Amino acid sequence: MLDTYRNLMDTGYIWEDNNAEEPDQISTQHGRYENIHTEEESSQHIKCGKTFEHHSYLRIQDRIHTGEKNFGYTHCGKNFANHSYLQPHERRHTGVKPYKCNQCDKVFAQQSYLRVHERTHSGEKPYECTQCGKGFAMHSYLQIHKRTHTGEKPYKCNQCGKAFTQQSNLRVHEQLHTGEKPYKCNQCGKAYAQHSTLQYHKRTHSGEKPYECTQCGKSFAKHSYLQLHKTTHTGEKPYKCNQCDKFYIQQCSLRVHQRTHSGEKPYECNQCGKTFTYGHNLQTHERTHTGVKPYKCKQCDKAFTQQSNLRVHERLHTGEKPYKCNHCGKAYAHHSNLQYHKRTHSGEKPYECHQCGKTFTQQSSLRVHERIHTGEKPYECNQCDKAFARNDSFQQHKRTHTGKKPYKYN
């Protein structure tokens, strides 16, 4: 507890109690405190045995035991055990931010927040991990980091049992169950589960890119994109998979990769129950239920469920083919098409059927093949109820009803 109060003093908390008696009065009137005379006079709380350098700290500790909260705010009725807690709370209502950064003019409601912010300018990281030596600007960041060593995940979802290292991550996860998206864009009405995601989205309207690389001057809309970009200069990939020794630039990329080993699919569709490895795949899938196609081509008005599909489509208009084969020079509009083409040179067929051992160059070809074993026919005709395993066979069948003959003999 002594360390706690020292830390709070270091970060700018001022312990005030206008009603505090003199030290002798505290000791004689309440009978709860006992002086310990050492080189530096301190006081001991009789109930819990904790010692403090000042009697004012003893009074604060006493209120923890009694539950006493003498300092109330008239506007909202909230009460506090210490006057120093009341002052920052009042600023939530008034909006007053008296502490200003001398370097960037940013203002803060508490001096402790200003001190932490100043470390972004100074680069100071006073909190160091004893296991790996990594430094942090805030003590709370160190506590979270320690859990990467211990594996501790103290915050658990009551609905699905998934656990998290941070309470903020749990809150965001819970919104997957509730569907809540409290943060709404004033310009286009799009809503988000996280405030940080909304802030990033707003930059798509403003074009703002506040994060700049000091080495090459390139700017980014998100800090995480800048951190990722920096590794192109350093070549660093600090996150290693324990199962296949693959390395990653970001820890989140490693976590996603590990799902390929575990088979975990944590993102579930509320409408049909289908699960996904990636959150963005769930979002794209949900549009098959809603019919929403938010990405529209400016040249032909064709709309798409994914931005990546729009980018590929736009190359039909521009003729751009940025992905070139090093072997034969053939170019492609889509990276996946280049990867598939490369296998015609290497002979690689990485996708294998678990039932018969047949291998394929493309995962989509494997999926179509697996329907031979499962009997699945997902393409059903609305006119005659005939079903097909392949989409191309389905399209050909539809022409028997329409009479359309798209292929002309010259």
Q: What's residue 16's pLDDT?
A: 39
Q: Which two tokens stand for residue 184?
A: 């709404």
Q: Which two tokens stand for residue 230?
A: 């920096």
Q: Which of 2-6, 138-142, 197-201, 234-238 has the lowest mean pLDDT?
A: 2-6
Say yes or no to pLDDT of 163 above 80.
yes
Q: Please, which pLDDT band fits residue 370 given cuts at 50, 70 and 90?
A: very high
Q: Alpha carbon of 377 to those of 285, 286, 287, 385, 389: distances in Å?
A: 19, 22, 22, 11, 4
Q: Which two tokens stand for residue 357?
A: 């051992």
Say yes or no to pLDDT of 319 above 70.
yes
Say yes or no to pLDDT of 285 above 50.
yes
Q: What's residue 402's pLDDT?
A: 84
Residue with tokens 């499962």: 374
Query: Mean per-residue pLDDT for 235-264?
Result: 85
Say yes or no to pLDDT of 278 above 60.
yes
Q: Which helix (H) or strand (E) holds 99?
A: strand 99-100
Q: Which of 19-28, 167-176, 350-359 has the lowest mean pLDDT?
A: 19-28
Say yes or no to pLDDT of 325 above 90.
yes
Say yes or no to pLDDT of 11 above 50.
no
Phi and psi, residue 255, nearest 5°: -60, -45
Q: What's residue 408's pLDDT?
A: 63
Say yes or no to pLDDT of 296 above 60.
yes
Q: Which two tokens stand for residue 356?
A: 């018969």
Q: Please, which pLDDT band fits residue 130 given cuts at 50, 70 and 90?
A: very high
Q: What's residue 43's pLDDT?
A: 62
Query: Mean per-residue pLDDT for 310-334?
Result: 91
Nearest CA to 234 among 255, 214, 258, 254? Answer: 214
Q: Which two tokens stand for residue 122?
A: 């100074």
- Strand 359-360 with 303-304, pairing: unpaired
Phi and psi, residue 145, nearest 5°: -60, -40
Q: What's residue 53's pLDDT?
A: 65
Query: Mean per-residue pLDDT for 127-149?
Result: 89
Say yes or no to pLDDT of 58 above 80.
no
Say yes or no to pLDDT of 244 above 60.
yes
Q: Could you name the CATH architecture of 2-94?
A: 2-Layer Sandwich (3.30)
Burial of 44 (0-12, 13-18, 19+ CB in 10 A): middle
Q: Tell me the C-alpha distance between 223 and 219, whole Å.
A: 10
Q: Tell me the C-alpha distance between 306 and 332, whole Å.
A: 19
**What single letter denotes the amino acid at residue 249?**
I
Q: Which two tokens stand for residue 342?
A: 């490369």
Domain boundaries, the chain: 2-94
Q: Contact, 249 vs 237, CB < 8 A? A: yes
Nearest CA to 177 among 44, 270, 302? Answer: 270
Q: How many residues does the chain have?
A: 410
Q: Please, which pLDDT band fits residue 99 given cuts at 50, 70 and 90?
A: confident
Q: What's residue 80's pLDDT?
A: 67
**What single letter denotes the amino acid at residue 79?**
N
Q: What's residue 75's pLDDT?
A: 64
Q: Which two tokens stand for residue 77?
A: 């009725």
Nearest CA to 17 among 87, 109, 121? Answer: 87
Say yes or no to pLDDT of 112 above 50.
yes
Q: Which two tokens stand for residue 311?
A: 């980018």
Indicate the Cα dihedral angle 22, 27, 33, 38, nearest 10°.
80
Query: Which residues lie below 8 Å from residue 32, measured CB to CB, with a gap of 6+?
Result: 45, 46, 47, 58, 62
Instruction: Select the more confidently predicted residue: 41 or 157.
Output: 157
Q: Contact, 82 vs 17, CB < 8 A? A: yes
This prediction's pTM: 0.37
Q: What's residue 30's pLDDT?
A: 40
Residue with tokens 């998100």: 222
**What single letter denotes the amino acid at residue 359?**
T
**What is the average pLDDT score of the chain?**
80
